[in-house]
């Protein structure tokens, strides 16, 4: 039985021309680690941390810290410090991943809010007249976000 090939017009051949069905290449599922494209996910952090430390102007406590990792950016967002003490002033040091830092004094019964990008750490030093062991009180509120890639 002679048929003309569809691929080559006007040439007779002794074989049956048919097209082979190609197998579909299966794509890796989204959660597969062999996938070449990265998946980005937005992670949000909402945290309220109580502040309760000595008002001695010597002890600095770290209330937030992110280990430096070159593959991911540090979180960005807002940091709010609320000082509820009666006579103690808080010195807030906010450090960014580019080694920039800013220090702000927050007086008694007041608050401070900062919008930050690439936050690395938040440290607090309390200074003023100390009557009790722990008269520097307040809270730190974090509303941060970062992108996680996997």
Residue 102's CATH number: 2.60.120
**Residue 91 lies inside a defined structural domain of this protein:** yes
Residue 26 maps to a domain: no
* pTM, rounded to two decimals: 0.68
Does residue 49 fall inside a structural domain?
yes
In the block, tokens 């600095």 appear at 60
Asked if residue 25 belongs to a domain, the reply is: no
Q: Under DSSP, is residue 67 helix (H, G, I), strand (E, B) or coil? A: coil
What tens digit of pLDDT does each residue of 3-12 get? 554 544 444 4
Distance CA 129, CA 6 (A): 96
pLDDT per residue as tens digits for the range 95-140: 988 778 889 999 999 999 999 998 999 999 999 876 666 688 999 9
99 within a domain of the structure (yes/no): yes
Give the model's pLDDT for residue 50. 94
Helix (H, G, I), strand (E, B) or coil at 147: strand
| More confident call, 140 vs 73 | 140
Give residue 38's pLDDT band: very low, low, confident or very high (50, 70, 90).
confident
Q: What percent of the chain has pLDDT over 70?
A: 68
Structural domain for 56, as ranges: 40-149
**Beta-bridge mates of residue 82:** 111, 139
How many domains are contained in the chain? 1
> Cα dist. 108→85, 87, 91, 103 in Å?
5, 6, 11, 16
Is pLDDT above 80 for 21?
A: no
Within 13 A of 101's CA, how many CA atoms are on the CB side? 12
The answer to the question of residue 3 being in a domain is no
In a domain, 8, yes or no: no
pLDDT at 100: 81
Distance of CA 55 to the CA centre of its chain: 32
């Amino acid at each position: 039985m002679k048929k003309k090939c569809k691929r080559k017009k006007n040439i007779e051949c002794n074989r049956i021309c048919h097209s082979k069905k190609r197998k579909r290449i299966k794509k890796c599922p989204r959660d597969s680690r062999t996938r070449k494209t990265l998946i980005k996910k937005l992670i949000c952090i909402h945290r309220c941390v109580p502040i309760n430390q000595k008002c001695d102007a010597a002890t600095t406590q770290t209330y937030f810290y992110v280990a430096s990792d070159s593959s991911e950016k540090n979180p960005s967002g807002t940091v709010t410090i609320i000082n509820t003490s009666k006579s103690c002033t808080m010195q807030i040091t906010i450090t960014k991943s580019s080694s920039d830092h800013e220090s702000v004094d927050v007086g008694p019964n007041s608050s401070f809010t900062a919008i930050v990008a690439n936050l690395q750490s938040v440290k607090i030093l309390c200074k003023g007249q100390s009557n009790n062991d722990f008269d520097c009180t307040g809270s730190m509120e974090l509303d941060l976000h970062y992108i996680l890639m996997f």
